Each structure stands twice: as C-alpha cells, then as structure tokens.
C-alpha cells in the first residue's frame, strides 16, 4: 500500500529485523511530500525508540505482551505527536487506529485508540522523563542503551550529554571537490542555485538543500564526491609523493582511494566485498581516475608479494561515529562486537604492514570512536613492532565537537632497516 505511514511501518519492521534504514526504505511511487514524511517518521522513530518505549510503558498495562507491529504503530504515533507539528493529534489517532485495524484486530485497534487518547489528555506530563538515576535518565532521554551511556561517560566525562545529543543532529551532505578548488566548485553550484558553505577541514563543502544535486553537470562530469569532512582528513596524514605505489586494503566505496590517487603514482585498491567494488568502479569512471586498480581480496589472508610505500587500512568497525546517519547502530552494537572487531582490525593491520616498505607510512583509521578499535589496536601493534613508530596521531573527530562524523586516525612509519 503506497501510503507514507504504511511505508514507514514496513520499513521499521525490516529495520527491527536487522536491515539498515537506507537499504530498507523504498519510497518508489510516493509523492515527494509523502516520501519526506515517511522518511522523517522512520528516522525519528528509530532515533527515539527507547524514549518512545518509556512513554508507551507508562500507558500500557502489560507492555511485554504488545504485538511488535502495534508497538511500532504506537511509537510512530507518539513520535509524530511529540516531535512533529505537521499533523493535528486527533488526525494522528484516527490514522493510527485505521492502520491497527488493517494489520491486526479490533482489540488491538481499541488499545491503540485508548492509549493515544489518554496520552493526549495528559500531554503536558506524558512525554516528561522522571528518572533520578543519571545513566538511566540519559539512556531514556537520548535513546541509548545504558551500556553505551556508561562507556561514553568513562570516555567523555562531562561532554557525554553533548555527544549523545549531537547524534540527533541532521548530518550534512558534504562534498570533496575533485580536480577543482572548493571556491570553483562552490561558484559552479551556486550558479545552479545551491547554497553551499566551505567548512573545516578544507576543502570540504557542505550543500544546504541538495535536492537535484546529482543531476548537475558538476556531478556528471566528476567534479565532486560525497564524503564527510572527517573522512576527508584521513589521507592528509600521509606525506605526498607522486613517485610511490600505494595500497588501500579496505577501499570501497572508494573516497579515500580517490584522494590517494591524487597524491601517489598508483593505488591498488582491495576490498572483501565485490558488490561494494562495483560501486567504487562506477565512481572511478565518473571521476576519471586512471591510476587505481581494484581487486576483491580478503585482507585477513596473506597478500601478494608486492611492496608499497603508503598503505591505508580504513578498517571495518562498529560505526559508532556514524549514529547521526545510521541511528539503528546504537541498538545493534554491543561491547562484544567492539572486541571482536578489534581482533579483525589488528589482523588487517598486521597483514597490511607485511606489505609496507622500510621507511613507508601506514595510516590506520575507523569511523568509530571507541578506544578498543583505535588506540587499543595501535598500541597492541606498536608493542609487537618496536621497529615501527607513531608518526602522527590525527584529530579524533566527534559530532558534538566538530559537527562531522566521528572518526579516529593515526599514521605510523616503518623505520628504515
Ligand atoms: C570503512 S569501510 C571503507 C571505506 C573506504 N575506505 C572509503 O573511504 O570509501 C570498510 C570496508 O572494509 C571492507 N572489509 C571488511 N572486511 C574486510 C576484509 N577482511 N578485507 C578487506 N576488506 C574488508 C568492507 O567491505 C568495507 O568496504
């Protein structure tokens, strides 16, 4: 049924079963306004899931018996009532009750009706969080599992709440200019009617209302690539050298390989995912790079004998720096995943290092902000390799400090023998 709220409901069901929102959300056939409404409801409901459940649990007698789809309907309705002002409350109730009748039975629609009407009657109080325990208060207010609230409290101390809050900020659409300056790209896009802003680290460019951006000549002719500003900073840890061979071990969809292709002679770009490499090759063609060779390769297994002077390991990670873009991550990732990924990352680093020439540089990065996946992996590596030194610890990017995705990066050098 092509109705924005039904689309939101089916998307939420898929996300609850493990899909990512961006893969599950399929708005084909919807008008733009409906598509925007459905998307807003999906993201908002996922972002605020634990908070919405806290409200539901105050109004439903046996919340543990709630059918999963009825719970999703209640979450969606409460999200719209509390966070959106597009639709009057009584219309939200009518719509939601109608949907409950379609997907369930009279009993369920009666329950939905009763709960939502009671919330409206008590609206001033219904959405307030009354919790004394600080961890639990933050967990409910910002819909973060308590495990992660405690983790970030240890890491960020009195910045914790600012960080949790920043994961609700809309993530900007950021571009990296390709073979033109930021000023030239901004000039061209502004002529096409796009409001742009140059941000740090340069040359990143934010486009305010990107609708239609991918129909521009600038896109078709390869004058930009979409890449968060923090991600753009990683490759600048390398020393530029137009003579050297480079390897990118976890390359797809390719943003950092493209930057490497501009400062090194050649880049061998490997990735375990053939599908992601297909997307990367499309971008290589659009952007016009002639010095990148891609190949499917599992970086945990021994690599070919070739040696390199520059290697990037932009490792698979928990993605805890990307919660603004993928809010579902915060419920899916547990501390065990951090430890398991840290083992994979350590293996990838070791394998990549075997291919590094003496005097060569290796940059290690993740879009995670945990210590275990970053400093932990590097310290373990450096203590096993006394011949290697830390050349530069890059900025650790945080959404609440820098307005970017969370990112961690460092450059190590293999000492000359
Ligand atoms: C963070 S993403 C890389 C992003 C990329 N560097 C960029 O800038 O566009 C991590 C990549 O690692 C790949 N990957 C995961 N396990 C791998 C493995 N064992 N060997 C090589 N690549 C792997 C994933 O397919 C994914 O494309």
The per-residue pLDDT for range 96-109, each reduced to its tens digit, is 999 999 998 888 89
Q: Looking at residue 340, what is its pLDDT? A: 98
Mean pLDDT of the chain: 96
Res 219 pLDDT > 90? yes
Mean pLDDT of 395-400: 98
Q: Looking at residue 399, what is its pLDDT? A: 98
Q: Looking at residue 43, what is its pLDDT? A: 98
From the alpha carbon of 254, which atom of ligand 1 is closest? 9
Mean pLDDT of 45-50: 98
Give nearest CA residue, ligand 1 atom 13. Answer: 250
Q: Looking at residue 404, what is its pLDDT? A: 97
Task: Confirm whether residue 67 is marked as ligand binding.
Answer: no
Q: Looking at residue 1, what is its pLDDT? A: 52
Q: Is 317 a catalytic residue?
A: no
Binding site membership of 271 for ligand 1 (Cβ less than 6 Å) = yes
Q: Looking at residue 106, what is its pLDDT? A: 80
From the alpha carbon of 248, which atom of ligand 1 is closest? 6
Binding site membership of 347 for ligand 1 (Cβ less than 6 Å) = no
Mean pLDDT of 133-156: 98
Distance of CA 56 to the CA centre of its chain: 28
Q: Bridge partners of 296?
A: 271
- Nearest alpha carbon to residue 177 among 211, 204, 214: 204
Testing ligand 1's pocket by substitution, the residue of 250, 261, 270 carrying the most ligand atoms inside 8 A of its CB is: 250
95-103 CB contacts, 8 Å cutoff, 24+ apart = 95/5, 96/5, 99/5, 99/6, 99/9, 99/73, 100/70, 100/73, 103/9, 103/69, 103/70, 103/73
DSSP line for 124-164: HHHT-----SHHHHHHHHTT--HHHHHHHHHHHGGGHHHHH
Domains of the chain in sequence order: 4-126 (1.10.940.10), 134-166 (no CATH), 173-226 (3.30.70.1170), 234-414 (3.40.50.150)
Catalytic residue among 317, 367, 388, 411: 367
Binding site membership of 406 for ligand 1 (Cβ less than 6 Å) = no
From the alpha carbon of 312, which atom of ligand 1 is closest? 6
Binding site membership of 255 for ligand 1 (Cβ less than 6 Å) = yes
Task: Confirm whether residue 27 is marked as ligand binding.
Answer: no
Band of residue 44 on the pLDDT scale cut at 50, 70, 90: very high
How do residues 257-299 score in pLDDT, each as one tens digit?
A: 999 999 999 999 999 999 999 999 999 999 999 999 999 999 9
Task: Confirm whether residue 126 is marked as ligand binding.
Answer: no
Q: For the chain, how long is the longest CA-to-CA vector? A: 77
């Amino acid at each position: 049924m092509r109705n924005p709220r039904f689309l939101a409901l089916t998307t939420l069901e898929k996300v609850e079963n493990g899909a990512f929102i961006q893969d599950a959300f399929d708005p084909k056939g919807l008008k733009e306004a409906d598509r925007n409404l459905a998307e807003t409801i999906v993201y908002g409901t996922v972002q605020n899931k634990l908070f919405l459940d806290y409200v539901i649990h105050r109004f439903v007698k046996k919340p543990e018996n709630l059918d999963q789809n009825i719970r999703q309907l209640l979450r969606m309705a409460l999200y719209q009532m509390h966070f959106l002002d597009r639709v009057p409350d009584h219309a939200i109730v009518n719509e939601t009750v109608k949907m409950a009748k379609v997907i369930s039975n009279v009993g369920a629609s009666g329950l939905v009706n009763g709960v939502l009407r009671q919330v409206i009657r008590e609206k001033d109080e219904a959405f307030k969080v009354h919790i004394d325990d600080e961890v639990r208060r933050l967990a409910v207010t910002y819909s973060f599992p308590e495990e992660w609230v405690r983790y970030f409290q240890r890491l960020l101390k009195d910045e914790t709440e600012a960080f949790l809050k920043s994961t609700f900020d809309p993530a900007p659409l950021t571009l990296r200019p390709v073979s033109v300056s930021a000023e030239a790209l901004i000039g061209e896009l502004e002529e096409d009617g796009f409001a742009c802003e140059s941000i740090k680290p340069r040359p990143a460019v934010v486009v305010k209302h990107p609708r239609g951006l991918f129909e521009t000549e600038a896109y078709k002719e390869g004058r930009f690539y979409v890449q968060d500003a923090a991600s753009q900073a990683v490759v600048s840890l390398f020393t530029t050298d137009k003579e050297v061979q480079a390897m990118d071990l976890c390359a797809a969809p390719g943003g950092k390989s493209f930057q490497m292709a501009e400062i090194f002679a050649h880049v061998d770009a490997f990735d375990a995912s053939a599908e992601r490499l297909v997307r990367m090759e499309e971008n290589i063609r659009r952007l016009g790079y002639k010095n990148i060779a891609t190949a499917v390769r599992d970086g945990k297994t021994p690599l070919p004998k070739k040696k390199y002077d520059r290697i990037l390991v932009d490792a698979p990670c928990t993605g805890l720096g990307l919660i603004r873009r993928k809010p579902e991550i915060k419920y899916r990732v547990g501390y065990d995943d951090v430890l398991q990924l840290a083992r994979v990352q350590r293996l990838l680093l070791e394998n990549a290092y075997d291919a590094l020439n003496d005097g060569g540089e290796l940059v290690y990065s993740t879009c995670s902000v945990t210590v275990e996946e970053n400093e932990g992996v590097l310290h373990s590596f450096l203590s096993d390799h006394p011949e290697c030194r830390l050349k530069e610890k890059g900025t650790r990017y945080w959404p609440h400090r820098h307005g970017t995705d969370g990112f961690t990066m460092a450059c190590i050098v293999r000492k000359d023998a």
